[in-house]
Structure 1
Amino acid sequence: MIQCCQNLVDRLKTVRHDSARFQVIKGKVVIQGNLGRCGPGKLVSLQLCSTTVVDQITRRGKLCEAAHLKVGGISQHEGIYISTFKISFRVEKEFGFPGALIVKSMHKTEFFLKCVRLELHGGLTAYFDCHSWVYPISKTNVDRVFFSNKSYVPTQTPTGLRHLREEELKKLRGNGRGERKEWDRIYDYDKYNDLGDPDKGPDLARPVLGGSAHHPYPRRGRTGRAPSARDPSSESRLELLDVINIYVPRDERFSPLKMSEFIKNSIEAIVHFLIPVAKSFFQKDIQNFTTFREIRELFNDRNRILDNVVAEKLKKLVPQELMAQIVKTIRENSTKFPVPQIIQEADDFGWQSDIEFGREMLAGINPMLIRQLEAIKERRLYILDHHDTLMPFLRRINALGGLCIYASRTLLFLRNDAALKPVAIELSLPLNDEDQGSREDNLSDEGWWDDKRVFFPATSGTERALWQLAKAHVAINDSGHHQLISHWLHTHAVVEPFIIATRRQLSSMHPVHKLLHPHFKDTMHINALARGILLNAGGIFEKTMFPGKYALELSSAIYKDWRFDEQALPKDLLKRKMAVPDLDAPSGVRLVFTDYPYALDGLDIWCAIKKWVHKYCSIFYRNDVSVRNDSEIQEWWFEIRQVGHGDKRNENWWFKMDNLSELEEALTIIIWIASALHASVNFGQYGYAGYMPNRPSLGRRFIPDEGTPEFAEFLRNPDAFFLKTVPNRFQTTLGIALIEILSKHASDEVYLGQRESEEWTDNEQVIGAFQEFQRELQQIEKKIIERNQDLKLKNRSGPRVIPYTLLYPDTSNVSKKGGLTGKGVPNSVSI
């Protein structure tokens, strides 16, 4: 009895001693998913690291004892389980503020850690905005580190966090060796050496893009797959059904919700593609449309039940597991494509008007190519030029078989009502070698021989039909440029090196990392999927776009002229002479005519982004010296120039990054490209190009010369000849299926002026500046609505009554329904 009492006294003394020395920090841990009754518990441990207190033995930030999760509650929102756990940390009273969280998982599977909130003494809180996948340590061999929502430039990093900051970046860089696994969090660079599949035959071999003067290109994320057996310079290819699992760091992958939607949308698009193709195939009529009405039938509601005969035939063409999903989709949804905006009005032929043809160069899906002709004082003549970029490729493209492509120049006249009226179209071909000696007058400045034909507007008869064919060939050129250059190269491809460099060189606690983070969401994953399905040898782009197997080579040739500084919208407009300098304007430029929807709305958004970036950077950088002394920023910018866009390392137009103004301009350009520029070229695709005759993607016949049998065929039925010129049934339906997927917003989209978490930062100044940014975007939304209602602005909607909303920010989209909305500026290149 005496001994028991003594033990109790000793324990009470220990408790009193501990209470004097230690304190308890309680908190909540939120995990996405339902881990069930056998949830993490003791299988997951968490430790806190002090910002200011250094362990005298390790000389690193003081760590507390490991703590484990205790069961909390489970809730469900829109089909997603959210599990909340309780946690208690026992820390020394002089521990200081917890600035990092170290997580070790012994669980058998990965889980998504959303956030951790700690309640500190004195009413303070510490918040960790994690939003990351945590894998078992048995796979990763390293602990996970998360920093709080406080931001520090390197020189201001608290003493206790310096080692963790440096070590975390080293982990993310890896060693550049080995094949990457699902659980790896390693960001590294590689060339575009995975587009071809030489092991399946020489026809599927493609040149490596990047790393050479002949084929320069931005870098992509490294996967480390084994080289091809036949070509060691090429990476081996994944089988089609394995592409969905292509490596990108897990935090760059689609969320489970988005992946589910992506697969569902893809299956619906496959159904929309397969049914008309299958029916026409079994009716022995797969090649051509014979009337415009047949194209219109793709969008008409019909019987939703799949014809049994067609279903049986499809089973032989489609994998069994996919066929079950196709049948289910057909039963639940229409087998018809949605009606594109361009033909939603009663008149299906408004797209043929010259005014609409010119308007789409200002308000369509490729409005950043039109430019003013030089030395024209009245500023009335403009040109859409697809000549010089295509001529070096035309012989090879037209030799592929089945393709008949021109290089075009289109002259347009600016009317008093700001409508661009096409006045002439020049279509060019390279002459045959034997014809060159007698055609010296057609030698171009670049050294190739041109065979030119010029067409002029006409309103009736044969000349009108020829004019429509000429416009179709211009649209073919413009469609290819839009998809391969304005869309893929100038947004998707050029952004990826910035993502990789940011993850490798800027700590997640760096203010610039926090600024850019939402603008990189899902980009690496959609790019990887594109390399596996769209851009690859024999992929959808090669089947539906006119450059065929030379598509990516063409984009490489055009990348030679890409300049980062000219991606700033004001500088781009000045270069194209669509604006003039104006120091009194917020953007520093003034449009030469106001009714240019892309530029007018775009300048508003550009100025809002730049103002937000300026206020944000001013909070963390007091002067130019502070930028030069930021070691992470300097390494980040060096790596972008020397590696990510390394084929342009010697260009003198790169910012030196030695002052605050250059940092702000660079960040504004990155955000503009990832958000507004991408939105302007992507989400209107279905509305304009969903109806193929308006935006054909390839040509199958040249315009015939008078007196030839082809010309006689053309005279007999100009519409039928037009339909034999543009994509056939298979190419059309495959192309529409693709852009239906690309044009849809995901339901978990995060738009410009929004953040996934409201507690992404604890800085009150930043929060205030961000709220001002949100208000400014909402004012831009009101402006856009007013402009679209202004009858004097003819180019806002045109004869097809399609209001220009591609740069409508949609900050108030709280319902998050997604779909084919034709509006909204997501933060990132996310589809």
Structure 2
Amino acid sequence: MTSLVKSNVDESQKLKGTVVLVQKNVLSFNAPAAAQSFGGIIGRTIDISGDIDGSIVDPATSFLGNSVALRLISATKDDGNGQGKVGKQTFLEGVLTSIPTLEDKQTAYSIHFEWDHNNMGVPGAFYIENFKQDEFFLVSLTLEDVPNHGTLNFVCNSWVYNVVKYKTDRIFFTNKTYLPSETPLPLVYYRHEELKTLRGDGTGERKVWERIYDYDVYNDLGEPDKDATLARPVLGGSSTMPYPRRGRTGREPTKEDPKTESRSGYFYIPRDELLGHTESSNFLVDILKSVSQNAIPQLKSLGTLREDQPEFNSFEDVLSLFYGESSVFSVPKVIEVDHSAWMTDEEFAREMIAGVNPNVITKVLEFPPKSKVDRKLYGDNTTTITKEQLERNMGEVNVEQAIQDNRLYILDHHDAIMPYLGKINATGAKAYATRTFLFLQDDGTLKPLAVELSKPNLQGDSLGPVSSVYLPATERVETSLWLLSKAYVVVNDACYHELISHWLKTHAVVEPFIIATNRHLSVVHPIQKLLLPHYRNTMNINSGARKALINAGGTIESTYLLGAYSMEMSADVYKDWVFTEQGLPSDLIKRGVAIEDSSSPYGLRLLIEDYPYASDGLEIWGAIKSWVEDYVNFYYKSDATIVQDSELQAFWKELVEVGHGDLKNATWWFKMQTREELIEACTILIWITSTLHASVNFGQYPYGGYIVNRPTKSRRFMPKKGSPEYDELINDYEKVYLSTITPKNEALLNMTVLELLSTHVSDEQYLGQRIEGDLWTSDSQPIEAYKRFGAKLAEIEKNLIEKNNDELLTNRYGPVKMPYTILYPSSEAGLTFRGIPNSISI
């Protein structure tokens, strides 16, 4: 190798370095392998491969010449003004071909810096300038044999554009970790200036190359300029429709509504949130958009959807989507072993504690349970189910005994759905708000006791709902009515799951944390390093959701019951969101499914002992908290250091007052004055981004891919005795069931999107892994603690496998013979029904 830059400087005053980067024009943005290989229609319907600009450039020659320059910045010697001395501009040299650690598409370049260590000290940062037209992805800089130090690692993982795009120089720091008060004085200025750059000035429309993190309300979901029916209210910034903040884009307002931001142009996210160098990230959003727009036409072209067959006529019709030569979807796990076990009461109940929405069921504390629906607006919403009806299927136990013995539970979607039913049913839907009571049996399984279906009184909402009660039955028509009643329950549950458990309580609530972190916690701050892996790709996927999933007329509105009122309902529920209750132990205790018990692991005891989501989740929770405790206590030696950490305090203040500003007056927020508070906050946040999201996301297709098991809409009311619909139910219950639930078009679109969302990409980073390997910090003790965390997760996975082999734990596999594997920490790529990614990355 021959250097292109000659120098007469003494070799002893040179520092040898290696720069690793990935060039834009050698990246081939292919669809995730899983998206092309799983049995769905994604790979068959969408052209999502090809280079960004179609050019093919030799990576070994394209950087020749003075195209990329670096300047080292001292961490130990200042320039007389308190700023670290800056070295001379130095350009990349030749390509290094003998580095075994290089990943696919990465290229390593040598570089030699003129650096008199006696005068300049030890480098702590560097500036980089890109004089090429195209951006590149900077992976790292490594300096070898630094006097008085040894090897220095700079982990970068950032896009670098042409210098003309930036108002301030691009700077990167070593992998050293400093609290603000411990920052070497020559680096203090650079630390502050970089954070100022990331905050921006709050003005203007953001451009694709920018790195600015700022807040805005959800005011870009509607398109009033396109169609008046696509207008949507602003979410956030008011007490009536509070909401977490999203990343600011700064686009122009619409003509029809100045409060609504235009959806034209680029859906900006800070550039490094779009990890375009990876296989999965860059086109993930476009895949989602293409699916939502193209799935139905493509299914028609494949013959799966025919104009003369707008409905599924039998369960066998639905099954044909998964089996035989004409199949276009992977077989959902819920029907892999048995095609009809989903219909059983046991499976219906089991999915409330081991399904895709396993954290809503609550213990009944009193009978009747109290409703929170506004009595003035909606009348008396007390349940019409009687004790006598419940006790028919409780053996010798009465309701009072069941409550006292912690054996009576409820899946209650009544209060969330009821205020919207009048508007929903006026659009053509035929839906109910539901309550389902369940009894904990001696064998540990849950038994449904009764379902209540309520709809608004046609004489006026204030008169209170009209309700009907359905009980388990074995006679033919009553059995069909009972099956239908359970379908209405699942429709409620599917909507609540997608809008609340999944979107609101993971995706939406986390985005303000990401923004506040990047605005106030420097890349060398220990808490930034702790949280960074748990933010990977979240702003990108959230942006994609605003593009194609939660927007007016998007997939969620098209395929779920709430329709145009979907996001409004999530804003209603956000009013009662409490961050400090999002950790698993607090959630279980709040829902009454566990009680505090200092003698039990994690300080609580499950009242439903065989509760797969809770028991598995507690093991993961314990591992996360232990890791966070080790980490936080390494950097913070006392509570005083928490209070004195200026960046941490600024981060938390802005998160509460701006990011979640509509709830800023809530008294439950941590004050962030103690190590205990910081540990709990970080543990909750990591839990939400990893395990909680995994539990409500990667089971979507395994359970809901068979639309008959988890319908998302209802189009008919329950048949009344003596009506033609009732007679039809007697003669062909499958046809009535299918004409009641999600219609064929919407079902196919929903199934297509769920299959994609439930699939792991090949470059996913799972809990206990870091993309930087061991180089994310130079501190050895946190690295060792993180390795212990990874080892603990591996041990937990073995424990969970053993649990699934225990035949006494029947809730773990149920009548469908579907082991609860979703919280196994590791996974391969594909539709695996397991694996906990670090972040909300899909």
Residues 122, 354 of structure 1: CA spacing in aligned structure 2 closer, same or farther, 3 A cutoff? same
Matches within 5 A, 1:416-815: 416-433=442-459, 449-758=464-773, 759-810=775-826
Residue 713 of structure 1: how far off its partner (Å):
2.8
Aligned to 2:433: 407
Spell out, residue by residue over 1:451-499, the C-alpha distance to the aligned partner (whole angstroms, 9 max, x if none).
Answer: 1100000123110000000000000000000000000000000000000
Q: Report the Cα distance in structure 1 between the residues aligned to 2:837 and 2:324, rounded to whole angstroms.
A: 31
Matched residue, 2:182 = 156
| Structure 1 counterpart of 2:115, from 91, 103, 109 | 91
Aligned to 1:373: 364
Question: Over residues 603-623 of structure 1, what are the superposed CA-to-partner deviations in whole Å (9 max), with x where a residue is unaligned?
Answer: 111111111001000111011
* Structure 1 residues 381 and 652: alpha-carbon distance in aligned structure 2, compared to 1, 3 A threshold: same
Distance 1:694 1:78, change over 3 A: farther
The equivalent position to 2:61 in structure 1, one of 34, 37, 47, is 37
The TM-score with structure 1 as length reference comes to 0.89
Mapped partners of 1:144, 1:279: distance in 2 = 50
| Equivalent position to 1:235, from 237, 261, 279 | 261
Letter in 2 for 1:99: G
**Change beyond 3 A, Cα 1:174–1:269:** closer
> Would you say 1:117 and 2:128 are equivalent positions?
no
The alpha carbon displacement at 1:278 in A equals 4.6
Question: What is the deviation of 1:268?
Answer: 7.9
Is 1:27 the counterpart of 2:17 in the alignment? yes
- Structure-2 residue corresponding to 1:818: 829
> Does the alignment pair 1:226 with 2:246?
no
Residue 248 to residue 40, structure 1, CA distance change in 2 (3 Å): farther
Larger relative contact order (Cα-Cα within 8 Å, sequence gap ≥ 6): 2
Paired residue secondary structure (1:798): coil
Aligned partner of 1:288 in structure 2 is: 311
Matched, 1:62 2:85: yes
Corresponding residue for residue 269 of structure 2 = 248
Question: Matched residues in 1 for 2:263 and 2:760: separation?
Answer: 29
Pair 23,777 (structure 1): closer, same or farther in 2 beyond 3 Å? same
CA 1:237/1:89 → structure 2, altered by over 3 Å: closer, same or farther? Answer: same
Secondary structure at the aligned position of 1:199 is classed as coil
1:338 is aligned to: 330
Following the alignment from structure 2 to structure 1, what is the Cα–Cα distance between the partners of residues 292 and 654?
40
Q: Is the 8 A contact 1:601 1:784 kept in 2?
A: yes
Pair 471,599 (structure 1): closer, same or farther in 2 beyond 3 Å = same
Q: Kindly state the Cα deviation for residue 96 of structure 1 after the two structures are TM-superposed.
A: 2.1
Checking the alignment, whether the CA contact within 8 Å between 1:301 and 1:336 is kept in structure 2 is: no
Shift of 1:283: 4.5
- Secondary structure at 1:791's aligned position in 2? coil
Total equivalences in the alignment: 760
Partner of 1:359: 350
Matched, 1:102 2:119: no
Q: 1:404 to 1:537 in 2, by over 3 A?
A: same
Equivalent of 2:96 in 60, 73, 76: 73
Contact residue 542 and residue 548 of structure 1 kept, 8 A = yes
Q: Judge which range, 272-281 or 625-634, deviates more.
A: 272-281
The 1:153/1:353 distance shift into structure 2, 3 A limit, reads same
Pairing of 1:154-303 with structure 2 (within 5 A): 154-238=180-264, 245-256=266-277, 257-259=279-281, 262=284, 273-278=296-301, 283-302=306-325
Which one-letter code corresponds to 1:348 in the other structure?
A: H
CA contact (8 A) 2:275 2:282 kept: no
Shift of 1:247: 1.1
Return the offset for 1:141: 3.1
Q: Would you say the 8 A contact 2:305–2:745 is kept in 1? A: no
Q: Write the distance in 1 (CA, Å) between the matches of 2:292 and 2:102.
A: 24
Decide whether aligned partners of structure 1 residues 283 and 273 sit closer, same or farther in structure 2, where only a CA change above 3 A counts: closer
Give the CA deviation at 1:275: 4.6
Q: Distance in 2 between matches of 1:38 and 1:655?
A: 52
CA contact (8 A) 1:269 1:740 kept: no
C-alpha distance in 1, partners of 2:267/2:771?
25
Q: Residues 270 and 737 of structure 1 are in contact (CA less than 8 Å); yes or no, is this contact kept in structure 2?
A: no
Please give the alpha-carbon distance, in whole angstroms, between the structure 2 residues aligned to 1:236 and 1:543.
21
- Between the aligned partners of 1:393 and 1:175, the Cα distance in structure 2 is 40
Question: What is the CA-CA distance between 1:270 and the residue it aligns to?
Answer: 7.7
Structure 1 residue 250 displacement after superposition: 1.3
CA distance in 1, matches of 2:288, 2:589: 40
Which consecutive unaligned segments of at least 5 residues does structure 2 have? Answer: 1-6, 27-58, 367-402
Alignment correspondent of 1:395: 422
Contact 1:31 1:113 in 2 (8 A): yes
Distance change >3 Å, CA 662–CA 41, structure 1 → 2: farther
Change (3 A) 1:482 1:293: same
Normalising by the residue count of structure 2, what TM-score does the alignment of the two structures yield? 0.88
- Structure with more of its chain in helix, by fraction: 1
- SS of match in other structure, 1:356: helix
Match of 2:839 in 1: 828
CA displacement 1:559-604 (0-9 Å, x = unmatched): 0110000101101000011111122334221111320000001011
CA distance in 2, matches of 1:651, 1:160: 40
Task: Give the partner amino acid of 1:777.
Answer: L
Aligned amino acid, residue 31 of structure 1: L
User: AA paired with 2:270?
Assistant: P
Aligned residue for 1:382?
409
What is the distance in 1 between the residues matched to 2:559 and 2:86? Answer: 58
Counterpart CA distance in 2 for 1:642 and 1:579 is 32
Higher mean C-alpha displacement, 225-234 vs 59-68: 59-68
Residue in structure 2 matched with residue 311 of structure 1 by the alignment: none
Corresponding residue SS for 1:298: coil
1:273–1:737 contact (8 Å) kept in structure 2 = no
Give secondary structure in 1 for the equivalent of 2:94.
strand
Name the CA distance, whole Å, in 1 between partners of 2:239 and 2:68: 50
Closer, same or farther: CA 151–41 of 1 in aligned 2, 3 Å: farther
Q: Is the 1:277–1:286 contact (alpha carbons within 8 Å) kept by the matching residues of 2? A: no
CA offset at residue 717 of structure 1?
Answer: 1.9
